[in-house]
């Protein structure tokens, strides 16, 4: 069985191999190569796993899953938070050629079911610590709605379905059977702009390259001590260079439950963390904590702070070395592929004011005007890209793909950027219908569709509004049959089962929605209204 995906054309694949980007190694090699390494790979609370232990745990789980009949080419839906089991499960599944979707821990029923519908998983791995899986009610519902699920494993469950039980069984004679390196290794989650969250097939070859090259740029090595404070399943802390970069380099990953200063500062001090990755709002909160008297000495070991996921203001950027006492690296990446970094030896000017440049010499990035023509350096337009680790199509989405790619296979990310003479990018805005709430992405259409199912709502438009901490928050403009309160709308959406970060921060009732000349909702005007109101207050 093989998972279908949009392949790179043969001539591109040949070139990427020739240039040494694609090595034809499975991602499980990242751990496999350290099978005899007794250095610490991951620290999760009071638990510590060496590379040897992590690899053996993954082998035991992989062996147990094969005994239960899971086969190469099948898929799994996984929802684990920042726990060592996340990596154990990820490597175990790679080893038996089962491709997971790693849902975020903040995801709820709507998201899980949308993913399950698309991949028809044979296996579900979830956590009793998640509200949905605290008892078996939702589990039964999900299984009923997803007949493909043959096996369920639960973290923090001592019973029959417990993950812990499988981790105790021996892996005698286990032989790994990963999928071929140019096939799908797993699915990454798209931030999305459409009604259903899209999945991004990532192959071993492309993802492994992206991690390896990230390590070179960020200089990760066996002395790297990385704090993973963002959701482990997100592409950024997973691969830029993230935890997988650390494992490849033989360093240590320390897991944090959240990026708050009160949680992270003591972890940094205790484990002598030298690099971590944050989104801009977390940076603001760290700076604020220091101003309010948190001891900066706790951060003494921290050498490099990566910031990405959303636009970092120049002023916040400049405060990082000055107040946190470490170097800043801006990261502008996407789960679809392309990642840009400022380089460690770039000037402050570049590090503070740009979002870096592409990591690979064969990343083709250009700026298009609305007719698809290339714009000269410095002009703002649509980001177009293709390259050895940028995907060629969303999973099973031919219609959307026809819009998201041009005839030459360039992906249009929906970002508005400018590229300077030296190839450095600044992110100027966005064309996709998405809200970037402090790095967490909300597809407006997904929420609007759910709002329209409410009996009192006739029309709905979700737009971004500026927020000093989060960068953006969301506002729902509604045309309703009767007066509705924000709390009612939020409760309604929560009951439908959407992730909390997608609930509108504000609800505005209006008599009608403004339209553009072609009859689409004029979101620009709605955003302007919010901005005017904000500047007036």
Cα-based distances in Å from 329 to 335, 413, 415, 496: 19, 22, 20, 39
**According to the 3-state scheme, what is the secondary structure of 217-236?**
HHCCCCCCEEEECCCCCCHH
Least distance (Å) between residue 303 CB and ligand J2J: 19
- Find the Cα–Cα–Cα–Cα dihedral 338, 246, 302, 345, rounded to 10°: -50
In this structure, what are the phi and psi dihedrals at residue 503, rounded to the nearest 5 degrees?
-70, 135
Least distance (Å) between residue 336 CB and ligand J2J: 7
Cα-based distances in Å from 520 to 434, 516, 524: 16, 5, 11
- Which residues sit opposite 189 in a β-bridge? 199
- Which residues sit opposite 179 in a β-bridge? none
Least distance (Å) between residue 401 CB and ligand J2J: 17
Structure tokens at 265: 């500062």
Least distance (Å) between residue 415 CB and ligand J2J: 5
Pair 272, 254: CB distance under 8 Å: no
Pair 335, 242: CB distance under 8 Å: no
Strand arrangement of the beta sheet that strand 411-419 belongs to: 364-368, 381-386, 411-419, 425-430
CA dist., res. 532 & res. 537, Å (int): 9
Least distance (Å) between residue 60 CB and ligand J2J: 30
Instruction: Select 178 or 333, whichever has its Cβ closest to ligand J2J.
Output: 333
Q: Residue with the closest Cβ to ligand J2J?
A: 333
Instruction: Select 118 or 390, whichever has its Cβ closest to ligand J2J.
Output: 390
CA dist., res. 487 & res. 497, Å (int): 15
Least distance (Å) between residue 442 CB and ligand J2J: 11
Instruction: Select 62 or 499, whichever has its Cβ closest to ligand J2J.
Output: 499
Instruction: Select 308 or 381, whichever has its Cβ closest to ligand J2J.
Output: 308
Least distance (Å) between residue 392 CB and ligand J2J: 16
Instruction: Select 235 or 474, whichever has its Cβ closest to ligand J2J.
Output: 235
CA dist., res. 339 & res. 362, Å (int): 12
In this structure, what are the phi and psi dihedrals at residue 163, rounded to the nearest 5 degrees?
-65, -35
Least distance (Å) between residue 536 CB and ligand J2J: 28
CA dist., res. 473 & res. 496, Å (int): 21
Least distance (Å) between residue 248 CB and ligand J2J: 15
Instruction: Select 283 or 310, whichever has its Cβ closest to ligand J2J.
Output: 310
CA dist., res. 239 & res. 218, Å (int): 12
Least distance (Å) between residue 259 CB and ligand J2J: 14
Instruction: Select 121 or 438, whichever has its Cβ closest to ligand J2J.
Output: 438
Beta-carbon contacts of 132 under 8 Å, excluding residues fewer than 6 positions away, are 108, 109, 112, 126, 138
Rule CB under 6 A: which residues touch ligand J2J?
A: 191, 235-236, 239-240, 308-311, 330-335, 339, 355, 413, 415, 427, 430, 436, 441
CA dist., res. 265 & res. 299, Å (int): 7
The CA-based angle 405-204-120, given to 5 degrees, is 75
Instruction: Select 239 or 480, whichever has its Cβ closest to ligand J2J.
Output: 239
Instruction: Select 110 or 240, whichever has its Cβ closest to ligand J2J.
Output: 240
Instruction: Select 56 or 464, whichever has its Cβ closest to ligand J2J.
Output: 464
Structure tokens at 88: 């154990």
Pair 439, 104: CB distance under 8 Å: no
């Amino acid at each position: 069985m093989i998972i279908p995906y949009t392949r790179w054309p043969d001539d591109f694949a040949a070139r990427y191999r020739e240039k040494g980007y694609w090595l034809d190694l499975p991602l499980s090699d990242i751990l496999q190569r350290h099978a005899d390494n007794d250095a610490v790979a991951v620290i999760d609370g009071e638990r510590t796993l060496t590379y040897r232990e992590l690899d053996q745990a993954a082998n035991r789980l992989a062996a147990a899953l094969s005994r239960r009949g899971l086969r190469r080419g099948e898929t799994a839906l996984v929802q684990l938070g920042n726990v060592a089991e996340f990596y154990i499960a990820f490597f175990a599944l790679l080893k038996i050629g089962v491709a997971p979707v790693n849902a975020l821990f903040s995801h709820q029923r709507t998201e899980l079911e949308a993913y399950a519908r698309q991949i028809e998983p044979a296996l579900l791995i979830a956590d009793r610590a998640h509200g949905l899986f605290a008892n078996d009610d939702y589990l039964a519902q999900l299984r009923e709605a997803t007949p493909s699920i043959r096996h369920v494993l639960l973290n923090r469950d001592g019973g029959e379905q417990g993950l812990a039980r499988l981790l105790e069984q021996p892996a005698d004679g286990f032989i790994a059977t990963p999928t071929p390196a140019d096939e799908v290794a797993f699915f990454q989650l798209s931030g999305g702009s459409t009604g259903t969250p899209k999945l991004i097939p990532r192959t071993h070859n492309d993802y492994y390259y992206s991690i390896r090259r990230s390590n070179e740029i960020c200089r990760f090595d066996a002395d790297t001590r990385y704090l993973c404070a963002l959701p482990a399943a997100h592409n950024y802390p997973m691969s830029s260079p993230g935890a997988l970069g650390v494992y490849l380099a033989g360093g240590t990953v320390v897991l944090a439950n959240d990026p708050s200063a009160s949680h992270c500062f003591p972890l940094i001090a205790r484990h002598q963390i030298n690099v971590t990755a944050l989104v801009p709002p977390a940076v603001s909160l760290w700076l604020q904590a220091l101003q309010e008297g948190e001891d900066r000495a706790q951060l003494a070991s921290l050498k490099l702070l990566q910031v990405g996921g959303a636009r970092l203001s120049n002023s916040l950027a400049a405060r990082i070395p000055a107040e946190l006492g470490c170097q800043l690296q801006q990261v502008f990446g996407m789960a679809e592929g392309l990642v840009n970094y400022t380089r460690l030896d770039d000037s402050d000017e570049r590090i503070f004011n740009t979002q870096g440049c592409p990591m690979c010499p064969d990343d083709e990035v250009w700026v298009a005007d609305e007719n698809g023509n290339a714009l000269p350096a410095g002009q703002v337009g649509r980001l177009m890209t293709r390259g050895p680790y940028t995907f060629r199509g969303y999973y099973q989405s031919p219609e959307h793909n026809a819009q998201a790619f041009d005839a030459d296979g360039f992906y249009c990310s929906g970002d508005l950027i400018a590229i300077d003479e030296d190839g450095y990018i600044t992110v100027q805005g966005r064309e996709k219908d998405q809200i970037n709430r402090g790095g967490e992405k909300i597809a407006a259409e997904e929420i609007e569709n759910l709002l329209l199912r409410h009996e009192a709502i006739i029309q709905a438009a979700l737009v971004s509004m500026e927020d000093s901490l989060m960068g953006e928050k969301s506002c729902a403009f509604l045309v309703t049959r009767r007066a509705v309160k924000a709390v009612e709308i939020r409760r309604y959406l929560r009951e439908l089962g959407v992730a909390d970060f997608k609930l509108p921060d504000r609800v505005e009732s209006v008599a009608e929605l403004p339209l553009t000349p072609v009859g689409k909702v004029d979101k620009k005007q709605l955003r302007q209204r919010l901005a005017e109101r904000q500047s007036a207050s």
